[in-house]
Amino acid sequence: MPQAPKGTRDIIGEDYQAFRYIIDTAERVIGSTGAVHIETPVFEETAVFEKAVGASTDIVRKEMYTFTDRGGRSLTLRPEGTAGIVRAYLENGMKVWPQPVRLYTYGPMFRAENVQRGRYRQFHQIDYEAIGSADPLVDAEAIALLVKILQELGLTGLEVKLGSVGDPEDRKQYNAYLRGLLSPSLERLSKDSKDRLELNPMRILDSKDQKDQVLLKELRARPMLDFLGPEAKRHFEDLQKYLKALGVNFSIDPSIVRGLDYYVRTAFEVHHARIGAQSALCGGGRYDGLAEMLGGAHVPGVGWAFGIERIAIAMEEEGFSPSAEAGPDLLIVPLDEKAREEALALAQQLRPKFRVEFLYTTKSPRKGLEDALKRQATFVAFLGEAERSKGVVTLKHLARGSQEEVYAQELAAKLGARI
């Protein structure tokens, strides 16, 4: 029998409740900023990610679900949201809208990663992007917004880690420095980091391999922050000033380099104290060169994404349990064959004002009542020959135990009056 592919999950019941709660809360908070919802395709031309995320990144090298469609085009299931949203900004001429254009979306992302708790192959992100301004105030708003959402979700134990990856020129110098520093010890680097030394040495800082981290410590590798040019430095300082004024707690973490090529200047992550190795709840940063990488004009931007599954794990760790789904207002129990059809007609009449379920098979009143209790219905209505002959239903309020005969046309008023 087929099973859900490795690294994917069916989201149902309490998991779905938590999922929905996170999305609703995020939408409410993001919506209050005036940002607008955008839906982009879940697949894009492969070049969108190759150009934006970067050919040297783990995502592009190892994790993309890329396929050739029937027309011979190379397409990729989106591994992240920003590249597609910037593509949409360019394609839809959003440059003439009031800037920055603030957009958000949520949906599935796909990465062929090693599966573990909090790390899936199809996972879900909420993305926020502010495109069209290089002002550090826009970065500050984005980070403060992210923190506000996490607080609204009731999360504590949050740690905002802030860094800067400088401008491309600064990074070039830093990469040259790292190459010089690490090349003599090439043999001690992990296999991945050997490749990184060639392609993008800064990414070694991000390595999870102990060997790499030990070596970096031993060689006392200087942080990227030492290499910031005057403009990137001012941007970083202004951002910190704004965040402090907003009362957003953060710490500076020079090891935040982020796994995607498009970042410049601001880079940040939010971690959660209690979820261990997969503790990054959110990541984001500035990507002023991204639109150009895609072949468009120079358009600065900043944004973030958080993983809904990771947030759900963090909330669970903090004792959040989604409220149980309420039962139906009314369960209709057909007592004879003919009443099955009448039950559907009655349900149709009462929906959507009331949440109405009915049984698809006939049941005795006793069995019907048991079913209604199991479903946690407020009311149960019985429909059989006795009721039909009088044009009524027998309506019972489960909590009160009260029972009466009610004309079908009065049912809505009864339900409305008593719930």
Quote the CA–CA distance of 330 and 379 in Å, as a whole number: 5
Could you tell me the strand order of the sheet in which 74-77 lies? 43-45, 74-77, 65-68
Provide, rounded to whole angstroms, the least separation between the CB of residue 53 and ligand AMP: 9
Provide, rounded to whole angstroms, the least separation between the CB of residue 310 and ligand AMP: 4
Provide, rounded to whole angstroms, the least separation between the CB of residue 235 and ligand AMP: 20
Q: Which of residues 261-290 bind ligand AMP (CB under 6 A)?
A: 280-283
Q: Does 11 bind ligand AMP (CB under 6 A)?
A: no
136, two tokens: 């550090």
* First-last CA distance in the chain: 44
- Strands (E) in 74-148, as ranges, are 74-77, 101-110, 122-131
The binder of ligand AMP chosen from 27, 113, 317, 318 (CB under 6 A): 113
Provide, rounded to whole angstroms, the least separation between the CB of residue 161 and ligand AMP: 11
11, two tokens: 């989201």
Per CB under 6 A, the segment of 18-26, 238-246, 302-310, 406-414 that binds ligand AMP is 302-310
The binder of ligand AMP chosen from 128, 242, 263, 306 (CB under 6 A): 306
Per CB under 6 A, the segment of 16-24, 307-315, 377-385, 403-411 that binds ligand AMP is 307-315
150, two tokens: 């996490």
The binder of ligand AMP chosen from 51, 235, 310, 414 (CB under 6 A): 310
Helix (H, G, I), strand (E, B) or coil at 134: coil
Q: Does 19 bind ligand AMP (CB under 6 A)?
A: no
Q: Which is nearer to ligand AMP, 58 or 329 (CB)?
A: 58
Closest residue to ligand AMP, Cβ-based?
A: 307
Neighbouring residues of 114: CB distance < 8 A, sequence distance ≥ 6 = none
Helix (H, G, I), strand (E, B) or coil at 6: coil
The binder of ligand AMP chosen from 259, 296, 327, 365 (CB under 6 A): 259
Q: Applying CB under 6 A, what is the total number of residues that bind ligand AMP? A: 18
Per CB under 6 A, the segment of 19-27, 43-51, 118-126, 404-412 that binds ligand AMP is 118-126
Q: Does 76 bind ligand AMP (CB under 6 A)?
A: no
Provide, rounded to whole angstroms, the least separation between the CB of residue 85 and ligand AMP: 13
Q: Does 120 bind ligand AMP (CB under 6 A)?
A: yes
What count of other Cβ atoms lies within 10 Å of the Cβ of residue 63?
18
Q: Does 107 bind ligand AMP (CB under 6 A)?
A: no
Q: Does 253 bind ligand AMP (CB under 6 A)?
A: no
> Any alpha helices (H) in 3-81, and if so which ranges?
14-31, 46-52, 58
Using only C-alpha atoms, the chain has a radius of gyration, in whole angstroms, of 28
Q: Does 123 bind ligand AMP (CB under 6 A)?
A: yes
Q: Does 108 bind ligand AMP (CB under 6 A)?
A: no
Quote the CA–CA distance of 63 and 66 in Å, as a whole number: 9
CA separation (Å) from 34 to 99, 103, 130, 135? 12, 9, 11, 18
Provide, rounded to whole angstroms, the least separation between the CB of residue 7 and ligand AMP: 8
For tokens 């949201």, name the residue: 81
Per CB under 6 A, the segment of 120-128, 182-190, 223-231, 390-398 that binds ligand AMP is 120-128
Provide, rounded to whole angstroms, the least separation between the CB of residue 121 and ligand AMP: 7
Provide, rounded to whole angstroms, the least separation between the CB of residue 126 and ligand AMP: 9
Quote the CA–CA distance of 342 and 47 in Å, as a whole number: 57
Closest Cα to residue 287, out of 311, 268, 271? Answer: 268
The binder of ligand AMP chosen from 50, 141, 261, 309 (CB under 6 A): 309
Q: Does 136 bind ligand AMP (CB under 6 A)?
A: no
CB burial of 274-292 (b: ≥16 within 10 Å; e: otherwise) equals ebeebbbbbbbbbbbbbbe
CA separation (Å) from 148 to 158, 343, 418? 11, 47, 38
Closest Cα to residue 196, out of 252, 254, 257, 253? Answer: 257
Provide, rounded to whole angstroms, the least separation between the CB of residue 99 and ligand AMP: 24
Interface positions with ligand AMP (CB under 6 A): 80, 111, 113, 118-120, 123, 125, 259, 280-283, 305-307, 309-310
